[in-house]
């Protein structure tokens, strides 16, 4: 059971089909291009997209820092849901849902779930703005994918 005090919730409507949005999250060739806030790039070392599979990657910050990440996929219900837990700090779980609005619109709900309200508050002060930057990058990647003839 979670409470709002332990969660960070961000959402956005995208003018793209649910299958395409899910593909941008589940295909590492697309995900590596947009994952992370503005200015960040990624090196994926492992992307085993199945329940129990690992996602290991390094985020390269604009400050030239390298930030190792390790996650484990806990639930995949394509094209509606992807959930994972982080094994690297900060520790939290993620549930990303992809709700079909109509044939060409999808609502993405991105929920970060922490063990304590205190842990959540440490991240919340900057995470919402950074998640919005992440969504901006996703939007740009979806434009690229759709213009390349996907679907």
Predicted local confidence at residue 10, as pLDDT: 97
In terms of pLDDT, which residue wins out, 149 or 11? 11
Quote the CA–CA distance of 86 and 77 in Å, as a whole number. 19
Give the contacts of 134 (CB within 8 A, at least 6 positions apart).
34, 35, 36, 37
Instruction: Give pTM, 2 decimals.
Output: 0.93
The beta-strand segments (E) located in the chain are 7-14, 41-47, 54-60, 66-77, 81-86, 93-102, 105-113
Per-residue pLDDT tens over the stretch 37-85:
999 999 999 999 999 999 999 999 998 899 999 999 999 999 999 999 9
Quote the CA–CA distance of 151 and 144 in Å, as a whole number. 12
Mean pLDDT of 118-132: 95
Confidence of residue 129 (pLDDT cuts 50, 70, 90): very high
Predicted local confidence at residue 2, as pLDDT: 61
Domains identified in the chain and CATH numbers? 4-147 (3.30.530.20)
Per-residue pLDDT tens over the stretch 98-115:
999 999 999 999 999 999
What's the mean pLDDT when you consider all of the chain?
A: 95
């Amino acid at each position: 059971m979670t409470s709002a005090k332990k969660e960070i919730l961000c959402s956005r409507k995208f003018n793209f089909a649910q299958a395409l949005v899910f593909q941008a999250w589940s295909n590492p060739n697309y995900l590596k291009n947009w994952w992370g806030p503005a200015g960040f790039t990624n090196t994926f070392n492992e992307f085993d997209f199945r329940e129990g599979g690992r996602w290991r990657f390094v985020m390269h910050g604009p400050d030239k820092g390298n930030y190792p990440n390790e996650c484990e996929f806990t639930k995949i219900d394509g094209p509606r849901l992807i959930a994972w837990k982080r094994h690297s700090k900060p520790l939290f779980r993620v549930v990303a849902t992809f709700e079909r609005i109509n044939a060409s619109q999808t609502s993405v709900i991105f929920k970060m779930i922490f063990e304590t309200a205190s842990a959540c508050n440490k991240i919340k002060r900057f995470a919402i703005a950074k998640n919005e930057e992440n969504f901006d990058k996703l939007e740009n990647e979806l434009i690229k994918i759709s213009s390349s003839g996907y679907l």
